[in-house]
Amino acid sequence: MKTKTDPGRSGRLSLLWLQSGGCGGCTLSLLGAEGPDLLTTFEAAGIDVLWHPSLSEASGGETLELLRRLREGEETLDILCLEGSVMRGPNGTGRFHMMSGSDEPMMSWLDALARRANYVVAVGSCAAFGGITAGGSNEVEACGLAYDGRDAGGLLGADFRAASGLPVINIAGCPIHPDWFTEALLQIAAGRLNRDDLDEWERPLAYTMHLVHHGCSRNEFYEFKASAEKLCDQGCMMENLGCKGTQARADCNIRPWNGHGSCIEGGYPCINCTAPKFEEPGHVFTETPKISGIPIGLPTDMPKAWFVALAALSKSATPARLKDNATTAQLKTPPTDRLKRR
């Protein structure tokens, strides 16, 4: 990877990637990008990666010197990416996470670099909202770049705008799908990413225009409210097992990971990991809270009375095949053609 931009290649953009409080899972997901792969995307977009902790050879003093030049404005920074939450503890000092080789906390570097960058991108829900790192009592005082959970602010403040005029671009997910990042990157490089391309949480509409429910292979079970009772069952996981696919904003089941996988395809309910505070649902992830037998979390934009009425009607019309298959680990009863005479 390049450690500085090449002045002989006009029109190319520079990108710096830093990591803070997180697991590195978004980078791991990005390394699995296909059609094109991550490095091909960078090249196709005309982006030079100044530094990435997993992809770059530079380290130590060489990296610190690069960061210093960027912070002082001696070198252009077009895109700043953060993976992982901002660690502000203890007591707002940021000293729980110091920039290696320096006597400054990572959050100070992030603040200064963000105010130099043309675009600031939060990669993953930790960088966007605090995420898993901010769960529980949050002793490390983790937050996102522009949000602290659902509250605007974070490290940079609610009114922060990068040099491009855009707020922090929150590519939320735990981890993100590689295409969510590469699509946003290509839009930025083409000068085609505008405020209207972001939703109310500043997430790209390219993936949050959809619900996880869209494209789910269990939709027929959902339509007839033929519900799974345990994780290995084939039925819909909304009623009993905490699935939030009808509320979660993402296209996980339309363009699954590695061409096939998603949480639901793997037999686990959607936990709405693209949303702020998903890590604190107030109940076990695999349980659906109910009042008088009715799930608290109803499908997005659907009135409660309609859901109750339609659910009752659907259950009364559930085909025997779906009832049989909903509570089995493998489908056992096939569809039949009523017009075929035996």
Structure tokens at 222: 């959902």
Does residue 113 sit within a domain?
A: yes
Per the structure, the complete domain to which residue 71 belongs is given by 13-208
Please answer whether residues 131 and 272 qualify as being in contact, where contact means their C-beta atoms are separated by less than 8 angstroms.
no
Cα–Cα distance, 186 to 204 (Å, whole number): 12
Q: Which residue, 159, 177, 208, sits at the end of a domain?
A: 208
Indicate whether 179 and 58 sit together in one domain. yes
Q: Residues near 214 by Cβ (< 8 Å), separated by ≥ 6?
A: 251, 253, 254
Looking at the structure, tell me whether residues 144 and 239 fall in a common domain.
no
Domain boundary among 163, 179, 208: 208
Same domain as 324, residue 243:
yes
* Backbone phi, psi, residue 122, to 5°: -90, 115
What are the pLDDT digits (tens) for 50-78? 999 999 999 999 999 999 999 999 999 99
Please count the CA atoms within 13 angstroms of the CA of 297 that sit on its side-chain side. Answer: 23
Strands (E), the chain: 13-19, 47-51, 79-83, 86-87, 119-123, 142-143, 147-148, 151-152, 169-171, 290-291, 294-295
Residues 17-33 have a mean pLDDT of: 95
Checking if the pLDDT of 5 tops 70, the result is: no
Residues 40/44/47/52 CA torsion (nearest 10 deg) = -10
Q: Can you tell me the distance from the alpha carbon of 37 to that of 32, in angstroms, rounded to the nearest whole number?
A: 7
For residues 169 and 86, give the distance between their C-alpha atoms in angstroms, rounded to a whole number.
15
The mean per-residue pLDDT over the stretch 147-159 comes to: 98
Residue-wise pLDDT for 129-142, tens only, equals 999 999 999 999 99
Considering the domain architecture, whether residues 152 and 204 belong to the same structural domain is answered as yes
Reply yes or no: is the peptide bond before residue 269 cis, omega within 30 of 0.
Answer: no
Q: What is the pLDDT of residues 82-139, one digit of tens each?
A: 999 999 999 999 999 999 999 999 999 999 999 999 999 999 999 999 999 999 999 9
Cβ–Cβ < 8 Å for 333, 324 = yes
Let me know if residue 5 belongs to a domain.
Answer: no
Helical pair 178-189 and 38-45, crossing angle rounded to 10 deg? 10
Q: Which amino acid is at 310?
A: L
What confidence tens digit (pLDDT) does each residue in 263-291 have?
Answer: 999 999 999 999 999 999 999 999 999 98
DSSP assignment of 206-227: HHHTSBTTTT-TTHHHHHTT-B
Co-location of 144 and 277 in the same domain = no
What does each C-alpha distance from 123 to 24, 48, 59, 180, 222 come to in angstroms? 10, 18, 22, 10, 32
In-domain check, residue 159 = yes
Number of compact structural domains in the chain:
2
Average pLDDT value for residue range 172-176: 97
Whether residue 132 contacts residue 86, with contact meaning beta carbons closer than 8 Å, is answered with no
CA angle 205, 208, 212 (to 5 degrees): 155
Considering the domain architecture, whether residues 179 and 228 belong to the same structural domain is answered as no
Look at residues 225, 223, 222, 278 and name the one whose alpha carbon lies nearest to residue 250.
278
**Is it the case that residue 316 has pLDDT exceeding 90?**
no
The enclosing domain of 246 has a CATH number of 4.10.480.10
End of a domain among 180, 208, 236? 208
**Structure tokens that stand for 134 in this block:** 């901010």
Q: What is the pTM of this model?
A: 0.91
Of the pLDDT bands very low, low, confident and very high (cuts 50, 70, 90), residue 9 is very low
Q: How far is CA 211 from CA 28, 95, 121, 202, 217, in A?
A: 24, 39, 22, 16, 13
CATH number for the domain spanning 27: value is 3.40.50.700
Within this chain, do residues 193 and 228 fall inside the same structural domain, yes or no? no
Closest CA to 178 of 3, 18, 39, 278: 39
- The answer to whether 79 touches 14, Cβ cutoff 8 Å, is yes
